């Protein structure tokens, strides 16, 4: 109990007062995921409270009749619902759990080089990633985050952690007319990264002649700005009504697949909110609905839910088989039934639906 209070209290300190611009507090990753689920925040999950995060907090507080402070106080966190509590370090985390602390765990795993989704849900990929991390640190690789894992991730004491890989930095000299945003775009990085590397306040003027550092390995910018989660939620509601699908199931599937992020692209080429393969998109356009669909967030949701409706029809409304076919393929499920990995995916989506 002593450890739990100390860790949660230490990491929560930045939530009770205005955090300095550019300051990284892992607890803020939980805040950003909770705000994203409300459709108010479309920025990166970087645990840095910047203008977009502050604006989202204030908007949420205003719409819920709370005092508009821009601070994630206890009342604000409770009003955020299941993703607003509890703080990281206050409970043991295991498969199937949902919450603020799960999002923080996922954020910290990514910071330590373990790629897992950051969606606030302790799903299969998160548990597998946690086991890899625990194995690397010679902890009990049980996929359950307890005091030893929290210590390694949060305090970085008692248990040795891997050294962060060396990053070669390049320099840029600020010229007349430059802004931090424009420079970030030019060198292919982000404002928070530049601000953190150079100890800058993004809200203050950038002085001409300032020498900035940025990662040399960063590629030229190709990413599109983050999708507005509010628009995604509206699309999910509209198209689920159109196709007669439970909107909670639609939201749970979309959140599981991408965290409502239309910029998400998987290692196998699945794209967008619903993580659709090009072949699936073509099939829906040519066979199921008979017309082309615009390749934006709303179109991705339309195509995804049209395909889910098809699978529900094929399997006589059986949601478990339809979701297994979504994950594994229709023919494969018909031929051999759901695979073990598909069953885990299905269980995760159906459990998440109860909280969406």
pLDDT tens sequence across 8-36: 544 444 453 334 444 578 889 999 999 99
User: Is the residue at 209 inside a domain?
Assistant: yes
Tell me what pLDDT residue 10 has.
Answer: 46
Q: Are residues 143 and 56 part of one domain? A: yes
User: Is the residue at 223 inside a domain?
Assistant: no
Separation CA 111–CA 116 (nearest Å): 10
User: Is the residue at 163 inside a domain?
Assistant: no
User: Is the residue at 222 inside a domain?
Assistant: no
Contact at 8 Å (CB) between 228 and 189? no
Tell me what pLDDT residue 169 has.
Answer: 61
Per-residue pLDDT band at 267 (split at 50, 70, 90): low
Q: Are residues 246 and 198 part of one domain? A: no
Burial 68-83 (b: 16+ CB within 10 A, else e): eebbbbeebbebbebb
User: Is the residue at 206 inside a domain?
Assistant: yes
- Report, as an integer, the average pLDDT of 187-208: 72
Q: Are residues 151 and 66 part of one domain? A: yes
Separation CA 39–CA 41 (nearest Å): 6
Q: Are residues 269 and 138 part of one domain? A: no
Residues forming the active site? 257
Q: Are residues 206 and 233 part of one domain? A: no
Q: Are residues 292 and 255 part of one domain? A: yes
Specify the number of domains making up the chain: 3
The structure tokens listed for 130 are 């946690």
Helical packing angle, 229-243 and 297-314, nearest 10°: 30
Q: Are residues 179 and 245 part of one domain? A: no
Separation CA 53–CA 28 (nearest Å): 9
Separation CA 111–CA 92 (nearest Å): 20
Reference 311, options 276, 264, 341; nearest CA is: 276
User: What CATH number is associated with residue 196?
Assistant: 3.10.350.10
Residue carrying structure tokens 């409706």 = 309
Separation CA 95–CA 69 (nearest Å): 35
Residue 3: is its pLDDT beyond 80?
no
User: Is the residue at 115 inside a domain?
Assistant: yes
User: What CATH number is associated with residue 245?
Assistant: 1.10.530.10
Separation CA 212–CA 189 (nearest Å): 12
Tell me what pLDDT residue 160 has.
Answer: 31
Q: Are residues 336 and 198 part of one domain? A: no
Q: Are residues 151 and 8 part of one domain? A: yes
Q: CA distances (Å), 235 to each of 6, 39, 56, 82, 251, in order?
A: 42, 12, 20, 22, 10
Residue 280: is its pLDDT beyond 60?
yes
Tell me what pLDDT residue 309 has.
Answer: 96
Contact at 8 Å (CB) between 317 and 290? no
Q: What is the pLDDT of residues 68-101, one digit of tens each?
A: 888 888 889 989 988 998 888 888 899 989 999 9
Average pLDDT, the chain: 80
Q: Are residues 21 and 117 part of one domain? A: yes
The structure tokens listed for 89 are 């370090």
Residue 190: is its pLDDT beyond 70?
no
Q: Are residues 234 and 206 part of one domain? A: no
Min mean pLDDT across 29-33, 51-55, 259-263 is at: 259-263
User: Is the residue at 42 inside a domain?
Assistant: yes
**Which residue range forms the structural domain that includes residue 125?**
2-155
Q: Are residues 184 and 107 part of one domain? A: no
User: What CATH number is associated with residue 11?
Assistant: 1.10.101.10
Helix (H) or strand (E) holding 172: strand 169-173
Last residue of a domain, one of 181, 215, 249: 215
Q: What is the pLDDT of residues 109-160, one digit of tens each?
A: 998 889 999 999 999 999 999 999 988 888 888 999 988 788 777 543 332 3
């Amino acid at each position: 109990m002593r450890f739990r209070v100390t860790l949660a209290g230490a990491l929560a300190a930045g939530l009770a007062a205005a955090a300095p611009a550019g300051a990284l507090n892992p607890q803020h990753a939980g805040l950003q995921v909770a705000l994203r689920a409300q459709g108010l925040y479309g920025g990166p999950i970087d645990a840095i409270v910047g203008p977009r995060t502050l604006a989202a907090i204030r908007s949420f507080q205003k719409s819920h009749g709370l005092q508009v402070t821009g601070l994630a106080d206890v009342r604000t966190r409770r009003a955020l619902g299941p993703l607003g509590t509890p703080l990281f370090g206050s409970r043991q985390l295991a498969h199937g759990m949902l919450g603020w602390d799960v999002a923080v765990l996922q954020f910290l795993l990514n910071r330590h080089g373990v790629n897992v989704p950051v969606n606030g849900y302790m799903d299969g990929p998160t548990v597998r990633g946690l086991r890899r991390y625990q194995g690397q640190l010679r902890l009990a690789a049980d996929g359950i985050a307890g005091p030893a894992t929290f210590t390694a991730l949060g305090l970085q004491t008692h248990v040795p952690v891997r050294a962060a890989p060396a990053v070669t930095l390049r320099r840029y000299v600020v010229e007349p007319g430059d802004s931090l945003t424009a420079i970030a775009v030019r060198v292919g990085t982000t404002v928070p990264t530049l601000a953190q590397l150079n100890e800058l306040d993004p809200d203050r003027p950038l002085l001409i002649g300032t020498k900035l550092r940025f990662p040399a390995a960063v590629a030229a910018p190709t990413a599109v700005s983050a999708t507005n989660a509010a628009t995604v939620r509206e699309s999910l509601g509209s198209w689920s009504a159109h196709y007669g699908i439970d909107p909670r199931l639609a939201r749970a599937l979309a959140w599981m697949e991408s965290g409502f992020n239309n910029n998400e692209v998987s290692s196998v080429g699945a794209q967008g909110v619903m993580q659709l393969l090009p072949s699936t998109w073509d099939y829906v356009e040519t066979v199921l609905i008979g017309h082309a669909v615009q390749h934006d967030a709303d179109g991705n949701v339309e195509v995804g839910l049209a395909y889910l409706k098809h699978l529900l029809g094929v399997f006589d409304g059986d949601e478990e088989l339809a979701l297994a076919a979504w994950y594994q393929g229709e023919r494969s499920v018909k031929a051999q039934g759901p695979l073990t990995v598909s069953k885990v995916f299905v269980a995760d989506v159906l459990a998440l639906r109860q909280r969406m």
